Amino acid sequence: MNYEVVIGLEIHVELDTVSKMFCGCSTKFFGEKPNTFTCPVCLGMPGSLPVANEKAIECTAKIGLALNSKIASFTKFDRKNYFYPDMPKDYQISQYDLPICEGGYVDIEMEGLALEGSGSRGYTRRVGITRVHLEEDTGKLTHIGESGRIGGADYSLVDFNRAGVPLVEIVTEPDIRTPDEAKIFVQKLKNIIEHLGVSDCDMEEGSFRCDANISLRPMGSKELGTKSEVKNMNSFRAIQRALVYEIERQRELLRADERVIQETRHWDAANNVTMSLRSKEEAHDYRYFPEPDLVPMELSGEWIEDLKNTLPELPDARKKRFVEAYGLSVYDAELLTSSKTMGDYFEECARAYNDAKKISNWIMGEFSMHLNATNLKIEESAVTPKHLVQLLRLIDKGQISGKMAKDVFKEMFESGKLPKIIVEERGLSQISDEDAIEKIVDMVLEENKKAVEEYGSGKDRALGFLVGQVMRLTKGSANPQLVNEILRKKLT
């Protein structure tokens, strides 16, 4: 039997506010000592009272607006009750029936990929957004024992620095059909949130986390199959690989007439498998009730409208502008706007240098190759827009050839030196002086009479040989175009 894959995602985004959600503790604790960013509120001390951070409400509504959601005119916080040592209060302040944002969608472009059941390549998938709500993040647990995991641990240690950090949860409709779609969706969502400037979206540091609900159903069926929830996918690659694995696992179970168990599974990237957490059958009964310590919120139409007007340019609009303003192809514009920092980098270059296509070619060619090889992001590279623009100018002036420029690029990528300095230090300047090249050409013609004759009798290959001789004598520093021209002129 053929099965249809049904995937829904839950994405958690830590907001980049100065202070926590309900208290004034700083959120900048990464790399700091444990339990040094707490206060009576985020430690859940009796008698302390939370007060909502207005900026966090704003950021959540901004995310909703960017995802085409409806922003609630009336919203409130609720208590989610559960016993787990990552929360000092034994409940988490979250939102239940009246989230800040409801509905919405994100369109993703699946270029070059075929939609199942159709022959056409390249399609758009609209992924519905169920809701976007605001809650507080939990503390961090470290499990001590041989495995380092919760199962089999001897004991655990708790750090409450993260407890109370504003956390936005984005829930999608089960509209995703393939691991590729899931990956592209998460990349696009991250890109949108980066453009909004409300989170640093660092997957490794955990400020952008993704969980997936996956189920299979017989093709054509409307009913949803039993799902499993996969957690701990902390890279785009992990999302894709975990989903591929989980789909295959469920397909095999169904084909063997076995049941899929509704459970939470952990992606183990080292072993390339998802594993059941095997915790005791948890009773998921959170007994939500309205948070009595926080009053409800009314968001006026005017407030929402004002917020809408402050929204920055988002990736889709930016892509369109890159095509129109810089004359780039849709493909190039798509890649250049695939992250905020990449787009910013391109635009900084484009302000200083007017051939956008050349900038784009370098960023997507040589630059990306070095970035991929070193696993660096563009903003982490030693090559700043100033470096790249200077390099392009050196090529334009004929001071270095395109081939030499690649070597210079490699060195500036490694050392961070400006290209002018590298060219000087290595004595790389390309010989573009016609007289100088003519002298060398004369010498080569004199010494290679046989090749000259061959060329005269129609053997084009001989020209290549002569060019090669000139390049050899100049140690590759002659402008090859000029050498070609001069040679042809002299040979006719």
Partner 1 sequence: MAISKKEVEHVALLARLSLSEGEKEKFSKQLSQILEHAGKIAELNTEGVEPTSHALPIKNVFREDEEKTCLSQKEALSNAPAKEDGMIKIPKIV
272 binds, among partner 1, Zn ion, none (CB under 5 to 8 A by kind): none
CB 160, min distance to Zn ion, A: 9
Of 354, 431, 439, the C-alpha closest to 389 is: 354
CB–CB of 437/486 below 8 Å? yes
48 binds, among partner 1, Zn ion, none (CB under 5 to 8 A by kind): none
Pick between residue 155 and residue 460 the one whose CB is nearest to partner 1.
155
Distance (Å, rounded) from C-alpha 489 to C-alpha 481? 12
Interface with partner 1, residue 264, by CB under 8 A: no
Binding segment toward Zn ion, per CB under 5 A, in 25-33, 99-107, 231-239, 474-482: 25-33
Residue 212, C-beta contacts closer than 8 angstroms, at least 6 positions apart: 7, 8, 9, 10, 182, 229, 230, 233, 239, 242, 243, 246
Residue 14: alpha-carbon gap to chain centroid: 16
Instruction: Select from 33, 259, 449, 461 the one that contacts partner 1 (CB under 8 A).
Output: 33
Interface with partner 1, residue 13, by CB under 8 A: no
Distance (Å, rounded) from C-alpha 314 to C-alpha 66? 8
Question: What would the two tokens of residue 91 be?
Answer: 């409940």
Strand-pair partners of 136: 166
Distance (Å, rounded) from C-alpha 415 to C-alpha 410? 9
CB 63, min distance to partner 1, A: 16
Interface with partner 1, residue 329, by CB under 8 A: no
Within residues 129-148, the interface with partner 1 by CB under 8 A covers 141-143, 145
Pick between residue 52 and residue 471 the one whose CB is nearest to Zn ion.
52
Instruction: Select from 153, 253, 314, 471 the one that contacts partner 1 (CB under 8 A).
Output: 153
Dihedral of CA atoms 208, 41, 285, 169 in degrees, nearest 10, equals -20
Of 380, 378, 16, the C-alpha closest to 197 is: 16
Interface with partner 1, residue 197, by CB under 8 A: no
Interface with partner 1, residue 298, by CB under 8 A: yes
155 binds, among Zn ion, partner 1, none (CB under 5 to 8 A by kind): partner 1
CB–CB of 291/285 below 8 Å? no
Helix axes 54-66, 301-309, angle to 10 degrees: 70
Q: Per-residue contact track with partner 1, 75 to 104, x per CB under 8 A?
A: -x----x-xxx-------------------
Interface with partner 1, residue 306, by CB under 8 A: no
Residue with tokens 């961070």: 416
Strand-pair partners of 297: 75
Binding segment toward partner 1, per CB under 8 A, in 168-176, 285-293, 322-330, 376-384: 285-293
Residue 453: alpha-carbon gap to chain centroid: 59
Question: What would the two tokens of residue 434 be?
Answer: 């016609």
Instruction: Select from 6, 8, 14, 38 the one that contacts partner 1 (CB under 8 A).
Output: 38
| 368 three-state secondary structure | helix
Interface with partner 1, residue 295, by CB under 8 A: yes
Q: Per-residue contact track with partner 1, 54 to 73, x per CB under 8 A?
A: xxxx----------------
CB 304, min distance to partner 1, A: 14
Residues that bind partner 1 (CB under 8 A): 17-19, 23-26, 33-40, 43, 51-57, 76, 81, 83-85, 141-143, 145, 150-151, 153-160, 279-280, 283, 285, 287, 290, 292, 294-298
Residues that bind Zn ion (CB under 5 A): 23, 25, 39, 41-42
